[in-house]
Structure 1
Amino acid sequence: MFNKDTKEFQCNNCGKNIETGEVVWTKWQFPPKNNASQLKSRKALEFENVPILCSACSEKLIAKF
């Protein structure tokens, strides 16, 4: 999720701050067709406030199943 106060992305499960280049699991829409206007991915994630899981949390959830 995107924290508007700190302007940083955080893991929805544990609240850890997500650093640039860190491997994460996220669910967001694919960009529109290549001739449509597009936002940069960071802004798209911010506007949609998509769920984000850090790699440690995603591995724990996968191990449960």
Structure 2
Amino acid sequence: MTMTPRELDLEVADAEELVRSFQRAMEAGERVLWVTDEEGHRHGLVVDKIAYLDVEAERSTMVGFRRE
């Protein structure tokens, strides 16, 4: 199946490493970049078909009670 536009929402341990891996794959002319998300699922991304990367800042989560 080709030409099926999708938006992927991946949670990875190191977003900056993903960006560096993507840049290296582009520069090396690699066809597929394999990414493993935090749940252990592997995703094969066709490098020359990726329109953009949107990297969000890490969100902090609070557990418990907070005093002000």
Interval of TM-score (by shorter of Structure 1 and Structure 2): under 0.3
Larger relative contact order, structure 1 or 2 (CA cutoff 8 Å, min sep 6)? 1
| Higher Rg | 2
Give TM-score scaled by structure 1 length: 0.23
